């Protein structure tokens, strides 16, 4: 029991050491244009959040863009992944296209995003969509391709005559943890695209917009670092929330396999 | 005779990259209503293939398989199958696994029926467990309950106890005999264990290899429960083992 408590808080001393070293190094350098002190960054949070009132609207705007990207990616990638994972021919037909598009960085799509969607939230959502789409797609079809043959045959013998039923009753539940993993990885990649998606000015708020359009690079490094930390922190919260909802509730049956 | 399942001149050829492979050749066999039939043979003799053909999971290259006067063309809940690999759906509890077929068929009283069959295999206490929480023997009992729940005319078992330890195996052999006696199913049971076949079957079909053919059908014709060390069983065991050793030699000589 004692051991477990200790393990649980293991992150605390390392975090404290990191912060203290940062503070100390910045203090010695004494050049906020190169590395502002941690305490300065913390004070910036206060200024940006309370005095200027940026943080909450910026976060909400970014979550809105992220939500568009995530929703669209999930709705397109899951059905496509199911088709690719279940029907060998669909996989053969589409996989090369996917593999050409996949390595293109979402950043490179910005001109097209603007051309197609103008300076709108949809354009930002599209960039984020590109980050989330491929991990979900790949993990979905991998999950479907891994479905053990014996389970499908069992379902056939028990009355699942058509593909539709086999997918619904066997392949989909089997692949669900894999789809969830893809979604989780995709969410991480997608969040990294938020800054790129907002830096070309689709909105007058948003974490990425603020970071690039309003802060002065040289004099306001403390603001910039504050927003960087904010980006990281929000992503951490999203990930924890996702894991809490998905792993604990949906996948109790997986415990024996994973742990 | 009361013929339940008729196989006439069933041949199965698999096309692989090295050309054609004849798995089964001209298998003709009548299986009676309520019979317990075991199929035994060296690995690769096509005994699993034969079972899959009866299940409708594969199709004969030529010949016919007829159940109750109708030719088999696709899988159906009429023919329950127990696989060697544990084939429970891991995301479903024991009860929901047994309910599976009933759910697909849209049967309303699925819970009651499922519980009835869980009682039959003695696992009702574990109905809310997930498969990962069960031992191998328990998993196979759930699979048996699941197959029986849709009330098939015939039960196909593909080395169902092959991956279990000897004690569990003996126990489940008694269990399957008890269930068979109670439910009056026709059972086709594939095994590689001569002892298992002689303990369970009314008739034992011994197969040869390359291509898979019926070498001999042995009538066991003994009262149950049988004594595993009975003299008559020993005689028949030697007979089967002799045939099998010839077959094995054929394989190693090649």
pLDDT of the residue at A201: 83
DSSP letters along B87-137, please?
A: ---TTS-HHHHHHHHHHHHT-TTHHHHHHHHHHHTT-GGGTTS-GGGS-HH
3-state secondary structure B188-202: EEEECCHHHHHHHCC
- B77 interaction partners in chain A (CB closer than 8 Å): 157-159
Cα separation of B28 and B8, whole Å? Answer: 4
Angle at the Cα of A10 from the Cα atoms of A8 and A11, rounded to 5 degrees? 105
Question: Per-residue pLDDT for B1 more than 60?
Answer: no
Closest-CA distance, A151 to chain B, in angstroms, reads: 6
DSSP label at A201? -
Residue contact A156–B150, C-beta within 8 A:
no
Is the bond into B211 cis (omega within 30 degrees of 0)?
yes
> Mean pLDDT highest for which of A48-57, A66-75, B6-15?
A66-75
Residue found under tokens 């699941």: B146
Report A:195-224 residues touching B (Cβ under 8 A). Answer: none
> Quick check: B83 and A154 in contact, CB under 8 A?
yes
Closest-CA distance, B120 to chain A, in angstroms, reads: 19
Question: Per-residue pLDDT for A3 more than 60?
Answer: no
User: pLDDT class for A248, splitting at 50, 70, 90?
Assistant: confident
Kindly list the structural domains of chain B, giving each domain's residue range(s) and its CATH number in brackets, ordered by start.
3-78+152-221 (3.40.50.300), 82-151 (no CATH)
User: pLDDT class for A74, splitting at 50, 70, 90?
Assistant: very high
pLDDT of the residue at B40: 95
Beta bridge partners of B205: B39, B217
Q: Which among A155, A157, A252 is the top mutation candidate for probing chain B, defined by the most B β-carbons within 10 Å of its own β-carbon?
A: A157
> Quick check: B141 and B174 in contact, CB under 8 A?
no
Nearest C-alpha neighbor of B7 from the set B37, B29, B23: B29
Closest-CA distance, A253 to chain B, in angstroms, reads: 5
Q: Does B160 touch chain A (CB under 8 A)?
A: no
Q: 10 Å Cβ neighbour count for A221?
A: 20
Residues B42-55 have pLDDT tens digits of: 888 889 999 999 99
pLDDT of the residue at A33: 86
Nearest C-alpha neighbor of A220 from the set A61, A58, A52: A52
Closest-CA distance, A159 to chain B, in angstroms, reads: 5
> Quick check: B125 and B157 in contact, CB under 8 A?
no
Pick the CATH number of A37-258 from 1.10.3720.10, 3.40.50.300, 3.40.50.1110, 1.10.10.10: 1.10.3720.10
Query: Nearest by CB to B81, which of A151, A157, A256?
Result: A157
Q: Where are the alpha helices (DSSP H) in chain A?
A: 2-8, 11-29, 38-46, 55-86, 88-101, 110-117, 121-145, 149-157, 163-166, 172-199, 207-209, 221-245, 255-258
User: pLDDT class for A218, splitting at 50, 70, 90?
Assistant: low
Cα separation of A76 and A133, whole Å? Answer: 8
User: pLDDT class for A258, splitting at 50, 70, 90?
Assistant: very low
Query: Nearest by CB to A150, which of B77, B83, B103?
Result: B83
pLDDT of the residue at B86: 81
DSSP label at B159? S
Rounded mean pLDDT of A115-140?
96
Surface-to-core class of residue A176, CB atoms within 10 Å of its CB (0-12 exposed, 13-18 middle, 19+ buried)? middle
Q: Does A258 touch chain B (CB under 8 A)?
A: no
pLDDT of the residue at A83: 97
CA-nearest residue to B53 within chain A is A157
pLDDT of the residue at A259: 40
Q: Where are the domains of chain A?
A: 37-258
Residues B181-223 have pLDDT tens digits of: 999 899 999 999 999 999 999 999 999 988 889 999 999 989 9
Question: Per-residue pLDDT for A241 more than 80?
Answer: yes
pLDDT of the residue at A1: 47
Q: 10 Å Cβ neighbour count for A100?
A: 9
Residues A138-184 have pLDDT tens digits of: 999 999 999 999 999 999 999 999 999 999 999 999 999 999 999 99
Q: What ipTM was assigned to the predicted interfaces of this complex? A: 0.92
User: pLDDT class for A55, splitting at 50, 70, 90?
Assistant: very high
Cα separation of A113 and A125, whole Å? Answer: 9
Query: Nearest by CB to B90, which of A156, A161, A253?
Result: A253
> Quick check: A60 and A121 in contact, CB under 8 A?
no
> Quick check: A105 and A127 in contact, CB under 8 A?
no
> Please, what's the largest Cα pairwise distance for chain A?
74
Cα separation of A143 and A166, whole Å? Answer: 14
Rounded mean pLDDT of A53-71?
96
- B87 interaction partners in chain A (CB closer than 8 Å): 150-151, 153-154
What is chain A's mean pLDDT, rounded? 91
Residues B82-134 have pLDDT tens digits of: 998 889 999 999 999 999 999 999 999 999 999 999 999 999 999 999 999 99
Sorted by sequence, the CB contacts under 8 Å of residue B90 that are 6+ apart come out as A174, A253, A254, A256, A257, B130, B131, B132
């Amino acid at each position: 029991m004692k051991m477990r408590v200790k393990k649980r808080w293991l992150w605390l001393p390392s975090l404290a050491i990191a912060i203290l070293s940062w503070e100390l190094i910045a203090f010695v350098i004494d050049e906020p244009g190169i590395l502002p002190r941690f305490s300065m960054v913390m004070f910036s949070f206060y200024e940006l959040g309370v005095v200027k009132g940026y943080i909450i609207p910026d976060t909400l705007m970014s979550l809105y863009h992220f939500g568009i990207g995530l929703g669209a990616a999930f709705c397109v990638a899951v059905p496509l992944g199911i088709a690719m994972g279940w029907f060998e021919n669909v996989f053969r037909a589409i996989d090369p296209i996917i593999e050409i598009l996949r390595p293109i960085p979402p950043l490179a799509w910005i001109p097209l995003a603007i051309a197609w969607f103008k300076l709108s939230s949809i354009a930002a959502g599209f960039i984020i969509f590109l980050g989330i789409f491929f991990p979900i797609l790949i993990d979905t079809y991998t999950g479907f391709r891994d479905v053990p043959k014996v389970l499908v045959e069992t379902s056939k013998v028990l009355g699942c005559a058509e593909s539709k039923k086999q997918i619904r009753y066997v392949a989909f539940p089997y692949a669900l943890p894999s789809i969830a993993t893809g979604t989780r990885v995709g969410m991480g990649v997608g969040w990294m695209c938020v800054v790129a998606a907002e830096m070309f000015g689709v909105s007058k708020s948003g974490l990425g917009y603020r970071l690039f359009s309003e802060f002065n690079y040289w004099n306001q490094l403390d603001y910039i670092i504050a927003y960087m930390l904010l980006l990281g922190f929000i992503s951490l919260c999203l990930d924890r929330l996702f894991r809490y909802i998905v792993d604990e509730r949906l996948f109790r049956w997986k415990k024996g396999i994973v742990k | 005779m009361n013929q339940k399942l008729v196989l006439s001149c069933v041949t199965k050829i698999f096309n692989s990259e090295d050309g054609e492979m004849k798995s089964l050749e001209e298998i003709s066999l009548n299986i009676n209503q309520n019979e317990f039939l075991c199929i035994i043979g060296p690995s690769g003799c096509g005994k699993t293939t034969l079972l899959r053909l009866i299940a409708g999971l594969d199709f004969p290259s030529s010949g016919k398989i007829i159940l109750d006067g109708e030719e088999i063309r696709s899988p159906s809940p009429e023919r329950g199958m127990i696989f060697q690999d544990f084939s429970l759906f891991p995301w479903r509890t024991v009860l929901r696994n047994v309910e599976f077929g009933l759910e697909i068929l849209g049967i309303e009283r699925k819970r009651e029926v499922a519980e009835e069959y869980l009682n039959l295999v003695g696992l009702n206490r574990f109905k809310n467990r997930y498969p990962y929480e069960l031992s191998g023997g328990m998993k196979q009992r759930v699979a048996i309950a699941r197959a029986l729940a849709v009330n098939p005319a015939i039960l196909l078992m593909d080395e169902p106890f092959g991956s279990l330890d000897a004690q569990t195996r003996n126990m489940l052999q008694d269990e399957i005999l008890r269930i068979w006696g109670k439910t009056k199913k026709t059972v086709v049971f594939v095994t590689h264990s001569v002892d298992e076949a002689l303990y369970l079957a009314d008739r034992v079909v011994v197969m040869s290899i390359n291509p898979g053919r019926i070498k001999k059908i042995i009538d066991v014709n003994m009262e149950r429960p049988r004594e595993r060390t009975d003299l008559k069983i020993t005689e028949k065991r030697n007979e089967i083992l002799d045939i099998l050793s010839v077959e094995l030699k054929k394989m190693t000589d090649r």
